[in-house]
Each structure stands twice: as C-alpha cells, then as structure tokens.
Chains A and B, each alone.
Chain A
C-alpha cells in the first residue's frame, strides 16, 4: 500500500542552522507530495507541495524537490528560526485525493 516514512524526531537545532528532514514514499502510481506543518495548538497547514517528478515546492524559505529516482521529498531550509519550531508532516496522495501522512517530525529551534 501507500506509505510515507520520515525521520524520527525531535530534531533540535540552533537558530540559523541548516535544516533537513528526510522523507521517502512508496513508489506506486504518480503521487503528489506534500509537507504540512503543525504549530503548537493549531491544525495542519500546507507548507509546500510538488505534483510531479523534479518539481520543487517552496514556501517561507523551505524547499523540497520531488525525486522519483530516490522516491524522496526531503524538506530543507538554509537558516531556521525559533518560530519554525513545529511538527512537520510529509504526505503523499494515493490513487484518490486522500493523502497518506508520515508520523511527523518535531523540530525544536533554540535561540
């Protein structure tokens, strides 16, 4: 079946550090790929998405590239801020429009 695997957290960084959160997906079909972010006390918000191979999604300094050859969609940011502290979810769409989510990765950024 469809699944998404993302690195376990928490990821703890100092402000201005480089961030990578790994995500891989099962290669069935032609999924769209998403990163959602959940700030404390809030619901999931779409951070970025890519709908086909080699597409790069970007938003708020975050980027992720749809890599079909490695079935990956790693999230990166060059310089994290304290306000980026949140839980990040990787997701893929299935044969329908229902996304399959990863377990989430908690990011903690210290000043």
Chain B
C-alpha cells in the first residue's frame, strides 16, 4: 500500500540554525500538508500546498517557515533560525484531491522529531 515517507526520523539542531524536513507524499496525490505536535499537545495545522503554491496556512506558519516542492516527488518544510519552541514532531500528509475536500482522507507520514537545543 502506498505511504507517505519522511526523513529524517529524528533531527537535533542548535538554536538559530536552519533545518529542512523532507517528505515524499503518495505519488498521485495533489494536496500536501505539514502539521506539528509539540510534546503532549494537540496536532496543529501549519500549511497546505496545492498546484505548486500555498493554499492555506495557519498563524503559526510565519516568515520563519517555508515550503517547497523542488521536484516531482519531494515536499519540504524549511525552518529558518530555529528556536527552542520549534521542538516538536512534524508530520507531513497528503490527500488525493479527487473528492469533497471536507471529507477527504489525509494520509500521514511517520513524522520527524525535531529537537532544538
């Protein structure tokens, strides 16, 4: 069964450094998403991406964050100048984009655990 993959599974970085989290969505999916989950907190939406542009973003997704689909398979989240509070699990997801968006299933990757020291 096709699945969303993410790399790395864990990343440790120093405060102020830039990190790039990578995702390979399911190959025929059209919508891509990033979420984060701070330890013990709820899963929070960051951004959605469709047709090579951001379609929706939350207030968390400020200028520190950017997303890119550099080729036909990867979908990346870049965090510039990381802060301690960026430490979280980051999930990528994708959806087919073929049915009613409100009820469509999103398929999640296993996540990247980011620790900022």
Contact = CB atoms under 8 A, between A and B. Distances in A.
A43 B41 CA distance: 15
B76 to A, nearest CB: 17
A44 B94 CA distance: 12
Nearest to A39: B110
Size bin of chain A's contact surface: 20 to 34
B45 A98 contact: yes
Given A43-B91, A104-B42, A98 B105 contact: no
A46 B42 contact: no
Contacts of B6: 43
A42 B45 contact: no
B29 to A, nearest CB: 13
B101 interface: yes
Contacts of B93: 43-44
Interface string A69-111: 0000000000000000000010101001111111110000000
Size bin of chain B's contact surface: 20 to 34
Given A32-B103, A49-B105, A41 B41 contact: no
B105 A41 contact: no
B74 interface: no
A70 B33 CA distance: 31
B41 A103 contact: yes
B82 interface: no
B101 A97 contact: yes
Contacts of A32: 102-103
A101 B42 CA distance: 6
A78 to B, nearest CB: 25
Interface of A: 30-32, 36, 41-46, 49, 51, 89, 91, 93, 96-104
20 contacts: A30-B102, A31-B102, A43-B6, A43-B91, A43-B93, A43-B108, A51-B103, A93-B103, A96-B56, A96-B101, A96-B102, A97-B95, A98-B45, A98-B48, A99-B45, A101-B42, A102-B42, A103-B40, A103-B42, A104-B43
